[in-house]
Amino acid sequence: MKRRPSKNVTLKRLLKLAVLFVVLICTGIILYSGYLSFQIEKRFSARRWRIPSKVFSDVTILYPGQETNRDLFHEKLRRLGYREVSYKPDQKGEVRTSRSVTEIFLHDLIVPSQKRMGFPVQIRFSENEIKSIVRLDNGEPMPILELEPEEIMLFFGPDREQRQLVSIDQVPQHLIYAIMAAEDNRFYSHHGVDPMGICRAVYTNLRHGSIRQGGSTITQQLAKNYFLTPQKTLLRKIKELFMSLTIEVMYDKNEIFEIYLNEIYLGQKGSVSINGIGEASHFYFGKPVGKLSLNEAAIIAGLIKGPNYYSPYANKNRCLNRRNLVMRAMNKNGWISGKELNAALVLPVKTAGFTVQYKKAPYFLDYLSEQLTTLYSREDLSSLGLSIYTTLDTEVQIAAEKALTRGLARLEKSNPGLKRTEPDKKLQGAVIVMQPKTGYILAMAGGRNYSVSQFNRITQAKRQTGSTFKPFTFLSALDKFTPASVLSNKPKSYMINGKIWQPKNYGPVPEEYLTMRNALAKSVNRAAVDLAMQVGLDHIVNTVNGFHFSTPIKPYPSLSLGSLEVIPLELARAYCAFAADGMQPYLLSLKEVVDENGKNLEQRHMTINRVISPAKAFIMTSLLQSVVTKGTARSLKKMGIFFPVAGKTGTTNNSRDAWFIGYTPDILALVWVGFDNGDSIHATGATAALPIWADLMNAIPQYISGNGFKMPPGVVKRTICSESGQLAVPDACPKPIEEVFLAENVPSKDCSLHQQSDPFKKFIKGVKKSYLKIINH
């Protein structure tokens, strides 16, 4: 018979098992805590948040004597966050406008090239001209003023979170107290978990029969938001407790509070979440966190419990009640006095207001993004908080979009046959605006409606150029021909690949012969082909290849009439050489990239290369000015364009494409109109594209200096006979005109149509010519 173990033995075994169990539990807790500390350290030592990179427009420069579009100027101020006030502005971001004066308290200007603190200025206008700019703080006149760039895009990650990081040293004490009063008034006393707070929350919730108060500390909220899922399970709550205790052991209270302040979700701006008090202070009150008042701090603290429920943008009464609750809690804890409480309780809830910003300049930004992704990954762009500065001028962009919209609507109204019911089949257009000397892209509208079609007709389309290509034929001829050379307008047939081709003019041109100038001004097809065949098609192809078109070019006679399909952006760039003394710029949309510490990572410098001589560029510009003064674009004067302009209209077969490219010494713009499927628009470049160009230019007077094109060395002027193109014979040629020539290609023969009959006059003229040759020599 076996002996039973004594009770003492049994107790000893149980005690050993209990001790072993406790040891295992403690070991598990230690190991788990070690694992948690490793995870926390790994996460906190790395980049804590994904900060979307910001894309900015270029700065806006203002100076006395500058013409402005005041409507666009005031729209820009609103987009920059300036608030209209009825009193003299005394805070940054305030503006007061009257009929002739705009007073602005400027924001700080922080760009790679300079940092400038905000100050008050007065801009005085005479109609649309800036008469003076004066600093109001010291009365000094300013020769030039820079407005800060606009934020035009954010590269968001998948969470679409927007935040501005702040350090706890930047946070006013009353905001810290407000958040503690609202969320965890014993934050600086407990060790991550507050038993008293939990008991108080349980008692309050039982007494009211509903969830009225939470027991989570600020540390627990941080652990939950930063590391855990929002699922409400016992296991997750246990993880939260352990993690909170571990965080408190590893980090001091101020660092935990700072991380929390930058992490918390505080509302929604469209599809973008507002995270952290830095972003929230700008979103709700239009000011940095350090400038928040007690009233505003209590509003933000009150949002944490339910950001969208208590949002002042959703319901001001709920927000007001929640704010008052927070301030009373602050008073109860002794953090504000009764006097401060009573003074703040009577204040209304006032916000800065906001509008959901839709994608600005979307076609430009798509083009920019393609360039950026060759430099940085999308992960870096959505997380590193880069500042990306561009060449975009938002005033020009808006003017271009409006001009295009109005122009297409006008065409559809004048010809109802152009209307299409399907959005993706509607009449389309595109505009590119740039500075010809720098290559800076100021505006880009790649289509009528980005939400309908993201296809960029400026950078992705290939369209026949029509007569906008003729200048390259005429340029190719300048070594042997002059603007006064006579071309044939007679019907001719050409054998192309075994087939007869006979070019036709777009409209009737009665003259059988025209000078090169008049042939280009009137866009005469027969004369252009006649010139091309005399110059040589291979020579034209070589000339055109120098302008860096990506399209293969073949030597067909129809090339001179614009049968070649090109990318509109490349055509605009080619025309820049005419405006920029023969220099062709590398097109720039990106200027600089700066990291979150202000270090310059990327700087794009202006790059140009010479494609033609300054003299040839001037000759071509002179010829293209005739297009505007007496040719196919002469209607510009009726549209309010009185400053010097050079340009060319273009229309392709069956009116599938309508073009106008026009430029001054300072700005160049290309306009294209057509259907994506090639349907006829039943209009020409002069009637479809030209009015859009004029509308755009009239809206951006700040870019119109009114200066003419300067004649460079290598160009000379002579008086010629308008009929023969030869040197004019005094008192014989009925219509002598002044013409420009390359110095090495000046006519030497007198007019053969109007020879002098008086021998004595011939003798005197011969003496004069010999004398001039001697003097010149």
Closest CA relative to residue 429, chosen from 406, 404, 411: 404
| Of 114, 130, 112, the residue nearest 122 (C-alpha) | 130
Residue type present at position 654: N
- CB-based burial, 49-63: b 16+ in 10 Å, e otherwise: bbbbbbbbbbbbebe
C-alpha span between 372 and 64 (Å, rounded): 36
CB contact set of 563 (below 8 Å; sequence gap of 6+): 464, 556
Question: Looking at 273, 281, 382, 467, which residue is catalytic?
Answer: 467
DSSP 8-state secondary structure symbol assigned to residue 138: T
Q: How far is CA 239 from CA 43, 223, 227, 243, 244, in A?
A: 16, 9, 10, 6, 8
* Stretch (H or E) spanning 619: helix 614-630
- For the CA atoms of the chain, what is the radius of gyration? 37
Contacts of residue 31, Cβ cutoff 8 Å, sequence gap at least 6: none
SS (H, E, C) 642-700: CCCCEEEEEECHHHCEEEEEEECCCCEEEEEEECCCCCCCCCCHHHHHHHHHHHHHHHC
Nearest by Cα to 163 from 86, 241, 274: 274
Give the whole-angstrom CA distance, residue 375 versus residue 358. 26
Q: In 718-734, which positions are buried (b, 16+ CB within 10 angstroms) versus exposed (e)?
A: bebbbbbbbbbbeebbe
Q: How many CB atoms lie within 10 A of CB 38?
A: 11
Residues making up the chain, counted from first to last = 777
Measure the CA–CA gap between 156 and 171, rounded to whole angstroms: 26
Which position among 94, 103, 161, 183 bears the catalytic label? 183
Pairing state of beta strands 646-651 and 657-663? antiparallel
Could you confirm whether 467 is annotated as catalytic?
yes
The residues that are catalytic are 183, 467
